[in-house]
């Protein structure tokens, strides 16, 4: 498989993120990185908690990192671990921000030999019959356009308030 420069960067970022995992209970280090449609890469590592339900997977950390910075469309996702595969919750979160073409790279990194095996698939192949917010009618066909139109509507509304405020001052 021939990898492009952005995908090589994505994989390297996920490998680096894996080193930051906080996993004193499972000792299962996972790193993840997402490549957004704008070309930005965001990373994350798994963070465990003594109350296991409060732990969070690396995949969701990287996605939430991107989303919290305004990037809501994923072009590719990379997960690095020994026998790397996303859990069901992470698969559903990936679906929320993916298109049918969003690539998924699973990097099985052997900690003793350092050897890595890369498997390429798509997010949608990993979760057949997913709960799709677009198919269910909860989101329009292109939710990113909706978000942009909401932001521009807010800006127009703010501009009108400023104009009214200026007239009041006269």
The 10s digit of each residue's pLDDT in 93-150 is 999 999 889 999 999 988 788 789 999 999 999 998 888 887 888 877 765 554 444 3
pLDDT tens track for 80-94: 999 999 999 999 999
| Domain count along the chain | 2
Q: Are residues 98 and 148 in the same domain?
A: no
Least confident of 12-21, 66-75, 85-94, 157-166: 157-166
pTM over 0.75: yes
Could you tell me if 127 and 95 are in contact, meaning their C-beta atoms sit under 8 angstroms apart? Answer: yes
Could you tell me if 40 and 64 are in contact, meaning their C-beta atoms sit under 8 angstroms apart? Answer: no
Cα distance between residue 11 and residue 3, in whole Å:
10
Q: Are residues 97 and 145 in the same domain?
A: no
Is 59 known to be catalytic? Answer: yes
Alpha helix locations (H) across the chain? 5-18, 58-67, 88-96, 123-126, 143-169
Q: Are residues 121 and 49 in the same domain?
A: yes
Q: Are residues 46 and 17 in the same domain?
A: yes
Whole-number pLDDT of residue 153: 42
Kindly name the residue from 37, 48, 59, 96 that is annotated as catalytic.
59
Cα distance between residue 46 and residue 11, in whole Å:
16
């Amino acid at each position: 498989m021939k990898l492009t420069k952005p995908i090589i960067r994505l994989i390297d970022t996920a490998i680096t993120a894996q080193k930051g995992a906080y996993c004193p209970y499972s000792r299962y280090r996972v790193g993840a990185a997402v490549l957004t449609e704008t070309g930005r890469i965001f990373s994350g590592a798994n963070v465990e908690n003594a109350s296991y339900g409060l732990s969070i997977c690396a995949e969701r950390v990287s996605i939430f990192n991107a989303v919290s910075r305004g990037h809501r469309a994923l072009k590719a996702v990379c997960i690095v671990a020994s026998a790397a595969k996303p859990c069901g919750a992470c698969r559903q979160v990936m679906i929320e921000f993916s298109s049918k073409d969003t690539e998924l790279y699973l990097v099985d990194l052997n900690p003793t030999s350092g050897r890595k095996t890369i498997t390429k698939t798509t997010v949608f192949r990993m979760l057949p019959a997913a709960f799709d917010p677009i198919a269910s009618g909860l989101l329009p066909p292109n939710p990113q356009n909706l978000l942009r139109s909401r932001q521009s509507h807010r800006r127009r509304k703010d501009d009108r308030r400023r104009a009214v405020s200026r007239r009041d001052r006269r």
